[in-house]
Amino acid sequence: MNPELIAEKLTTKDIGRSIVYLKETDSTNLHAGRMFKNGELRHGIVIIAGSQSAGRGRMGRYWYSNGGLAMTVVVEIPEKVDNLAPITLTAGAATAVAISELTGKKFDLKYPNDIMHNGKKLGGILSELKIDKNRFVLLGIGINVEQESFPDEIAGIAVSLRQAGLKVAVEDVASAILNQLEPMLDTFMANGFAHIRRYWLEVNCTIGKKITVTQPSGLIKGKAINIDDEGALILETENGTQKALSGDFTVEK
Amino acid sequence: MDLDEIKKLVRLVEKSGISELEIEEDGKKIKITKAESGTARSQPVSIPVPVNEPETAPIKEVVRPVAQKAEADVSGLHSIKSPIVGTFYNAPSPDAGPYVKVGDSVEKGQTLCIIEAMKLMNEIESDISGKIVNIVPDNSSPVEFGETLFRIQPS
**ipTM score of complex:** 0.90
pLDDT of residue A246: 85
Q: What is the mean pLDDT of residues A230-252?
A: 92
Is pLDDT of B15 > 70? Answer: no
Report which of A110, A111, A215 is spatially closest to residue A159, judged by C-alpha positions: A110
**Which of A60, A216, A245 has the CB atom closest to B92's CB atom?**
A60
Q: What is the pLDDT, as a whole number, of residue B21? A: 65
What confidence tens digit (pLDDT) does each residue in A61-85 have? Answer: 777 777 899 999 999 999 999 889 9
C-alpha A230/C-alpha A174 separation (Å) is: 28
Confidence of residue A177 (pLDDT cuts 50, 70, 90): very high
Least confident of A150-159, A200-209, A228-237: A150-159
Fold of A3-203: BirA Bifunctional Protein; domain 2 (3.30.930)
Q: What is the mean pLDDT of residues A16-37?
A: 94
Residues in chain B with CB shorter than 8 Å from the CB of A128 are 120-123
| Among B89, B94, B122, beta carbon nearest to A129 | B122
Distance CA A223, CA A94 (A): 25
The pLDDT tens digits of the residues spanning A105-164 come to: 999 999 999 999 999 999 999 999 999 889 999 999 999 999 999 888 888 999 999 999
Peptide bond into B94 cis (omega under 30): no
Q: Which of A49-53, A150-154, B67-71 has the lowest mean pLDDT?
A: B67-71
User: Alpha helices of A56-138 — where are they, by DSSP H?
Assistant: 87-103
Task: Select the more confidently predicted residue: B8 or B145.
Answer: B145
**CA dist A28 → A23, A146, A177, A218 (Å):** 11, 19, 16, 32
Please choose, from the candidates A64, A71, A70, A167, the residue with its C-alpha nearest in 3D space to the C-alpha of residue A121.
A64
Q: How far apart are CA B155 and CA B100, in angstroms?
A: 16
Mean pLDDT of chain B: 74
**pTM score, whole prediction:** 0.79
Q: How far is the first Cα of chain A from the last one, in angstroms, to the nearest whole number?
A: 36
Give the confidence band of A57 by pLDDT, cuts at 50, 70, 90: confident
Given a cut of 90, is residue A44 above it in pLDDT?
yes
**What's the average model confidence in pLDDT over A174-194?**
97
Q: What is the DSSP letter of A247?
A: S
Sketch the domain layout of chain A as residue ranges.
3-203, 210-251
Q: How high does pLDDT run on average in chain A? A: 93
CB contact under 8 A, B120 and A60: no
Given an 8 Å threshold on Cβ–Cβ distance, is A88 in contact with B120? Answer: yes
Cβ atoms of A90 and A105 closer than 8 Å = no
pLDDT level of residue A32 (50, 70, 90 thresholds):
very high
CATH number assigned to the domain covering A210-251: 2.30.30.100
Tell me how close the Cα of A106 comes to any Cα of chain B, in angstroms. Answer: 23
